[in-house]
Structure 1
Amino acid sequence: MENKAKRNLMIFWMVILFVPFIQWSLHLFKGGELKGGVVIAPDVEFSLAGWINGDYQREKEKYFNDQFGFRNDFVRLHNQIGYSLFKKMNANGVVVGKDSYLFEKPYIECLFGENYVGDSIIIDRVRKLKMLRDTFNRMGKHLVVVLAPNKARFFPQMIPNDLRTKQTTTNYDQYVKYFAENQVPILDCNAYFLHISDTSRYDLFPKYGTHWSMYGGSLIRDSLVNIIEDVSGKPLPKFAKTIRLSDYPEYTDADIGEGLNLIQKLQGGPYAYASYQQIDSSKKSSVKIISISDSFYWTMVYLDFPNMFQNNQFWYYFTDIWPERKRPDGQKMTIPDINLQDEINNNDLFIIMVSEVNLGYIGFSFTDQAYQLYFGK
């Protein structure tokens, strides 16, 4: 009886050891992909020099560690145990707040002024945007500035006590102050969300996401439509807005939660999703727009905001161009490939949308490069 138990135990461990190898070799089962900023080590070619100095062995070990069978499933199991038992995060910069609200740490740091760039930089950026806006207005063009909301600013009561530092000057407070002093209109989504927080029918920020909820984003979409009609003097196509409820998050409503790579998905909810149906016969607007933004603008893309216009571009971090454009050699075009002066001349309206973590240098390099075109250094 004792020998049989030992034999069964040996068989069990042999299966545990060899099943991942069999899965890696034959791919019998399709495992799920890990989400978020997951970097997989590449394979490495053998070289005598690499073998002698040990680089080949080290890099090959990293590759095998990332490729063994059921690796993703084991990672999710490990993450689930850490989260369920200890509220431990195996994701860089993720914070579990009160009532299990999830935050990205840089947004909390923004709230307490830990990334404050200084008044001199802020005053200079506001001055440049003011002069660009005035110049664009004289050219019959328009500049719209949107400050995306900060979840930590919206839910300060959910921030863990150990991350609450002494309140100091913040980039957000100073930008709002100097924009007002220089009479530069802005769409301040922080102020707007706080103003309607008690009356909004649906969540403006999701529990397990870092961006505004898709519903909250739809309110900003609606506001942008009104602003563009007002400044351009041109009507935009009319759409009827309907809301669909879901028990499960979609799009970016659980982008932090998905990046945790857990076995049991974080649900939360209910979630509200807006859809738009055109109700007039007008064609797409002739207003040509360029949006310079970080990841918050993707919500506008998901809500079909760019499709209201015959010509629209999204310059992601003033680096990538969407929709994609091709260079003469067939390669993907990026911002260094364009002629900025021509782009400004050929478009009508420019949206600068920025989250608080990127607010210190609002507009990215667009602000400086466009300013240099008209005013030099």
Structure 2
Amino acid sequence: MKRLAMALLAVSAFGLAGCSNNPESSVSTARGVQPAAQPPDDLAAAVTISIVPKSLDNPVFLDTKEAAQTRARELGVKLEWVAPFHADTAQQITILRWLINRGVDGILVSCNDPVALEPVINEGIAAGVRIATFDSDAPQSDRIFYIGTNNYEAGRSAADAAIELLGTNTEPKVAIVSGRREAHNLNERIRGFQARLEESARPVYLSILYSNDDINLAQELTEQAVTGLVDLDLIYFSGGWAFMGPLDSLDAYGRWLAAGGTAVTIDSHYPILIAARDGMVDALVGQDFAEMGRAGVSQLYNAILGQTVSSPIFTDTIRVNPDQVPLLLNQARNYELK
């Protein structure tokens, strides 16, 4: 980072004069932001950006990794990808503090627990590390920007699908399967879903079940919901963990769907599209994890070069109905976790 600071002094007039100094809007979209002006090769080579997803065992982040690596190669910067294998807040804090102590130039982190991560993010900012969040924010921290889904609106979109699927059932009994109880992105999805559903119906919430982002536990909780909750009409998955494992583990859930149950989920990457193709989920709201990686690296690089980056930067979502699944499957990447 010391070498980078000296290089920035040497090129303070380079290319940056063309960047606007006008205040930017409080909300922008990822595809509307611009990459930094290309600096000299020796400056780019001095930059290290570290990305810290929630965990390494969640395949939703693989599109982010691939897109971020591509963008980093284009810019000529060094990119690191480091995280706990399973979602673990204490380990994520340890990793962040290690990166800060090493003096990396920028960190892009998806926060398992925004409150717990707030102090270490603030420590890093105070030490001169440019830290931003993606996917799951820590909105009360000093992070310089958030890039990712507008999770409240994604929850509302999932509720729109549920309302259409429920038809005349205006008093549905609802279960919610989520990940980590503390995660800001998941809680915003639940908040948006409930707010929209309650505008058109009088739902009865039977349970919110927390899987801690664990695929096996998500499947177990789903099976428990359909066998243990009386007259359950609807399950809302705030993320697609239950569909990332073997679908034959969801035997009771499959029977519940066949008997008239309704299920909607956030996420539309390959295993979830397979679940939708096989009739295991009725509607999906997909996120653009690739854009989080591409634009996240671009904008963090801008910040390292001294540019102002607006926040939040919202990436696109897409609502997927069953008739759209075959086309999306042809376009999706089939990542297999080894």
Quick check: TM above 0.5?
no
- Which bracket does the TM-score occupy, shorter chain normalised? 0.3 to 0.5
Flag the structure with larger Rg. Answer: 1
Q: Compute the TM-score of the two structures, normalised by the length of structure 1.
A: 0.30
